[in-house]
Structure 1
Amino acid sequence: MIIAKTREEIALMRESAHVVSRTLGMLAKEIKPGVTGARLDALAEAYIREEENSIPGFKGLYDCPSTLLISPNAEVVHGIPKDIPFKEGDIISVDCGAIKNEFYGDHAYTFEIGEVDEATKKLIKTTKESLYVGIKQLKEGNRVGDVGFAIQKYCEQRGYSVVRELVGHGIGRKMHEDPEMPNYGKRGRGKKFIEGMTVAIEPMINMGAKRIKQLSDGWTILTADGKPSVHFEHDVAIVDGKPVLLSTFDYVHEALGITTNEEDEFRLDLTTLLQES
């Protein structure tokens, strides 16, 4: 069952999501050749607890041992942070969750470490663009398949493959709520979107084949062919029938010196939101 949120709850969820957004922005300044996943994980946990007065959302959830899930290169998602230095040319998906106001925030960004090859840059660009292509379909009256179809078409037309076994999800007082949000599908199929619903949309796109495998640690998922995979994720709500972002990459972009208007059409005006509630 999809759990619709009130305007006040959506405002609280935006605060939760922005804890994660600021954490990713802080980490963006630390991600460079020589840094380890374990170091980033320790920084993130301290920041969430001490600077944001919040609770890491992943640590302990389903017995997860870490605050971050860090997945380099051919790892798709759910990589456990290790004490191994990243090197020039690596890419890493950093997935982070936090609890504030009794609500979860959960999103991810794929970072380039130093100079990355052009083919991987194109995969990163396409995956990030596909996230917003999918978000545009999160409108009242549309269905789960509309989002998945849009992401799948955008990526496959550019020669990439979509992971099938891992999907986005509803989010709220629980990390995972209804509905599941695949990054593939058929238009007009699946559960219908309603006003006030909140979801995490997260394309996981491979340079090679769509097949994946899991390591013996029970967490790490990687591509079966060893080719790179990219992951981006946003928390999104439906307000007045349209998609609005609860999370933001603004803090990451500021840290990395990136200028973009990709989020502009999805921005949430909190003042207006609460005045109308």
Structure 2
Amino acid sequence: MEQASWVPSSVDLDRPSAARMYDYFLGGSHNFAADREAAKSVEQIFPGMAGASRANRSFLRRAVRYLLDQGIDQFLDLGSGIPTVGNVHEIAQQADENAKVVYVDVEPVAVAHSTAMLATNPHAGAIQADLRDPDSVLNNDTVRDMLDFTRPIGLLMVAVLHFVPDSDNPEKALARYREALPKGSYLAISHGSLEGINPDGLEDTEQIKAIYRRTDSPLTFRTRDEVAKFFTDLDVVPPGVVPLSEWHADSADAYISAYVGVARKP
């Protein structure tokens, strides 16, 4: 397959990417045939996947607006994905044109498009880094130049930690990020879970996990208690770690197979 000029040479167009599949579910255009094939296979098993992706996007919007209301004006978005409508900088800079945002993703297509989109935006940037290596993120020049670590920061990890397996010790990475955040900072997380899923649907879930194993981001579902551990030493704000549709809901979205939460560093 011939690669378009904007596609980084390192990208394997024959291997699906979880980030590009997510872009497809959201109605984006930065995905390839392998991504669409894998995404359509997921949709055949779970027709609600596109709605689930939009529900996660809706939570991102609500969380960013909540943090803005708490006085947060700088954001570090880990696992930000491919830019589509409703990005963090669009939401934040509508409220405060000087709000700062740094996007972080390991997917080269996501970073390439984010960089191009932000070329004329002095208050937002994007870097390619692996969130499993916190020091590579926290010590990055763009992160340090854009964000002021003497002031509160909004750390966003939306629909990404379920792509980090237990073997990669996500709790250790989260501990490093929590340590680096200034007092008064916030952490927002959404995470896929099988709790609340009808047992009859578990076989379908295994099929979905098999599809994602073809990507570089296999799925790891976690329980509410396991998601809550990511907020260790932080003060979780009401209503707590809850099903996605129960966090400051502003729509009739009933998607429940994900837990979300927002917490403040005291």
TM-score (norm 2): 0.32
Structure number having the greater strand percentage = 1
Structure number having the greater helix percentage = 2
TM-score (norm 1): 0.31
Structure scoring higher RCO (CA < 8 A, sep ≥ 6) equals 1
